[in-house]
Amino acid sequence: MTADRRGGAPERSEEDAAPGAGSPGHVGRLIRLGGRRSHGRIYATIRWGGVLVFAAIVVALVVSLVWQAAPAFRHSGLSFIFSGTWNPDTDQFGAGVFIVDTLITTGVGLLLAIPVGIATAAALSEFLPRRIGGPLSTCIDLIAAVPSIIVGLWGLLVLIPIFQRDVEPFLQKIPLLKHLFGGGDLGSGILLASVVLAIMMLPTMVALTRTALQGVSVADREAALALGGTRWQVVRRAVIPGARPGIEAAITLSMGRALGEAIAVSLVIGGGVTFPHSLLANGTTLGSAIVSFFDEATGVQRSAVIGLAVVLLVFTTVTNIGGQLLVRRRGGSRRQALPDQGVALTDAEVVPA
């Protein structure tokens, strides 16, 4: 503190002007600030350490699988991917038939699950009252917690007799579908495996689709209502098109779940190492082949089974990355106006006042 030359009040220096400088409270605040910074550095260290550990585990998993599958790829070359022959007696190993069965079961499962999943999500989100939709949503979410082996046993004990006695004979009587459902009434087969996969895909599809439908802006709904649309027309013309990226992401992520399923499918698909001639034929997916062949595999065959795991890992990784990209596209794109989605109602659909 310095005295004024004109004899006035003494001037305070810059250090004295700082409020509370040198006081115990000021020192305490500095200590707390330093503690927060220290905690932030510790948190950042733990966070990046966890990321590095997770990345190391993923890299170790991929490298170990590829390393153990390398002998099979060297033995068979590209024919390992495209060949449909799997014969351990002659050391011929090809994943082609398993890839085809995997794609067929997943595709048919999606055809069954998509309309049911979207309709269920729309009912829960738009039509049912909350006191009913809430418990139903919880029940559907709980299905995802059911172990796959339980679903597989249910299909084995309950669905196989029903399919063998009722479903397959009925499908074979339909004239236009005879080529798709030819063969004997086995009960187990590709069709039943697809139904089981559809049931396992539904919880994920319904949950993500419901979230996407609820994310459509109120302005879009009100604009459709202002045009005279009914509640169903609003959902069909405004809500579902507005939630399309989210629905696409739900379908893609559900497909990733179906591609990797092994236990439930292996119990109901019947088993078979030939290209299927119909949807009622027995088959073997990539996952069920790994479960069925790994215990008895030795030498090159063991390496070939691990090669099937590598192929399945590539399929599921690509599918899940595609689903995540669709989710991010939906999150970053908020410009879903009604004219852009083509939700203008025709004169026939407008409800007269």
pLDDT tens digits, one per residue of 287-308 = 999 988 888 878 888 999 999 9
Architecture, CATH, for domain 80-341: Orthogonal Bundle (1.10)
In DSSP terms, 2 is beta-bridged to 11
Global pTM reads 0.77
CA distance 246 to 207: 11
Q: Find out whether 204 and 253 touch, Cβ atoms under 8 Å.
A: yes
Predicted pLDDT at 339: 41
Strand extents, DSSP E, the chain: 86-87, 92-93
Amino acid identity of residue 265, one-letter, is: V
Tens digits of per-residue pLDDT, 99-113?
A: 999 999 999 999 999
Ranges under pLDDT 70 in the chain = 1-40, 184-185, 327, 329-353
What string of DSSP letters covers 245-276?
A: HHHHHHHHHHHHHHHT--HHHHHHSB--SS--
pLDDT at 110: 93
β-bridge mates for residue 11, sequence order: 2
Sign of CA dihedral 238, 240, 243, 244: negative
